[in-house]
Structure 1
């Protein structure tokens, strides 16, 4: 199987490159070859492959508040153009999305068919991409995930390790709940789904996030414990840590449909964290 992957240095793209199974080859397109601010040029790159994965995105949540138009090009128009090209060529298109397309209300896990209602520009830009992919006519997989972490790139684990090594305590938000998701697990899930879809499987909109659901504060405590750091984590409400973009309080995602469709269960993020720390220590 030959894959074309948009993205090269991001967390998921990096793991995809590292985890390609035997019999699978991939071409990775970084910004130098595929500028997502030029959707038509990105779409023109799609050829000579069996499936396309879009692992590239505007992920600067707060910056999107001031640059929503640009975020909508990268997260909305670019994947739409990619999907339309895939539809014309009869190729499956796999696209990563986010829990931020929901409003974060309630306590139950969001199901894929639940009404969307983004709280900010980033979520709105990702929703534009979802709609465009669905309307493209391509056989597609939209995979919503949350709280992505790995040993590379900028993410919560690395921030906590850096701060925890030099401070006695840290204030961390305790009223936002979700499932931390190792980028390695997302990459594995995409590779399984890409193979299945290249062989004719249906796609759709699905959720994939780590288990069990926890608060950011609880996640931080586990990071300190596994890393052997004495830094105390103090619970604070979201209101005590204002940011330009509103964060959803409830980022729980119901992933049962993805398990049923592709046989992939929610990964235990605690085991994933152990692997991340092992790699960082190495």
Structure 2
């Protein structure tokens, strides 16, 4: 199976690279903006026509959530225009598109695990751009999986885990919000799941939305406490309210994703968030 991966330098893209050797039946072509500018339709069409992949995994995204508030054009170009280009090219060549989306498409005001059919209400510019990307895939793709995930972290790039470890070690005391609830997602687990389900996913007709995160529920405070504990850093973590840590982009206050659909459709088991965090910290050389 020939697989084109976009956004290969990001967290998920790097995890897919690391797993690639374990899947000898898959032939990967990893690209980032230097090799393939997915915001340019002509470039995408020419690249896909020449390469003829069976699957496109779109890991590319504008993820600077707060910066997007003052850089709307860039956010929409990467998060909405690019998925539209990929969806159109995928349809033209009968390619399965796997597109990654986010819990930010919800406003977080419903305190129940969110199913794929739950009403969407994006609030921030980032959220609106990612929701627009979903809509473009739904509109233009003929075969696609839209996978919403949350609180992504990994051994690569910049993320909450690395930030907490860095500042925890430097400062010895951290204040972290306790009133935002969701589930951390280890990009390694997400990448592995995607590669495992591809044979079955290729048989799916139309475009379907799925939710995936690790199992369990946590606040950012819980997450930070676990990071400090598992990494063995001497640091006090204090809980604060979101109003005491204002951000340009308003996050969803509750974004626990219901994963029953993806578990039943593909017969997968999902690791508990704390177990996956322990593995990530081990890979980072701590704990």
Query: Which bin holds the TM-score, normalised by the shorter protein?
Result: over 0.9
- Unaligned 5+ segments in structure 1 are none
Any residues of structure 2 matched to 1:83-122 within 5 Å, and which?
Answer: 83-122=87-126
Which residue matches 1:22? 24
Residue 143 of structure 1 is aligned with which of 116, 140, 147? 147
Residue 35 of structure 1 is aligned with which of 23, 34, 37? 37
Any residues of structure 2 matched to 1:50-89 within 5 Å, and which?
Answer: 50-89=54-93
Native 8 Å contact 1:94 1:194 kept in 2: no
* Counterpart Cα distance in 1 of 2:214 and 2:159: 15
Is 2:190 the partner of 1:201? no
Which residue matches 1:9? 9
Give the C-alpha shift of residue 80 in structure 1. Answer: 0.9
Give the C-alpha shift of residue 193 in structure 1. Answer: 2.8
Could you report, residue by residue, the CA deviation over 1:154-189 in whole angstroms, capped at 9, with x for unpaired residues? 000000000111223210010000110000011011
* Counterpart Cα distance in 2 of 1:162 and 1:57: 25
- Unaligned 5+ segments in structure 2 are none
Which residue matches 1:251? 255
* Counterpart Cα distance in 1 of 2:214 and 2:225: 17
**Secondary structure of 2:146's aligned partner:** strand
The runs of at least 4 consecutive aligned structure 1 residues that moved more than 3 Å come to none
Give the C-alpha shift of residue 252 in structure 1. Answer: 0.6
Is 2:167 the partner of 1:163? yes
Which residue matches 2:230? 226
Native 8 Å contact 2:113 2:256 kept in 1: yes
Distance 1:195 1:8, change over 3 A: same
Per the normalisation by structure 1, the TM-score is: 0.96
Native 8 Å contact 2:39 2:85 kept in 1: no
Give the C-alpha shift of residue 37 in structure 1. Answer: 3.5
Could you report, residue by residue, the CA deviation over 1:212-236 in whole angstroms, capped at 9, with x for unpaired residues? 1100000111111111122111110
Could you report, residue by residue, the CA deviation over 1:92-143 in whole angstroms, capped at 9, with x for unpaired residues? 1000000000111121011111111111000100011100101114210000
* Counterpart Cα distance in 1 of 2:236 and 2:128: 36
* Counterpart Cα distance in 2 of 1:250 and 1:265: 23
Native 8 Å contact 1:37 1:70 kept in 2: no
Which residue matches 1:236? 240
Native 8 Å contact 1:8 1:29 kept in 2: yes
* Counterpart Cα distance in 2 of 1:140 and 1:44: 20
Distance 1:37 1:137, change over 3 A: closer
**Secondary structure of 2:171's aligned partner:** coil
**Secondary structure of 1:114's aligned partner:** coil
Native 8 Å contact 1:181 1:267 kept in 2: no
**Secondary structure of 2:284's aligned partner:** helix
Native 8 Å contact 2:143 2:204 kept in 1: no
Native 8 Å contact 2:76 2:129 kept in 1: yes
Native 8 Å contact 1:75 1:125 kept in 2: yes
Comparing 29-38 with 163-172, greater Cα deviation is found at: 29-38
Native 8 Å contact 2:181 2:219 kept in 1: yes
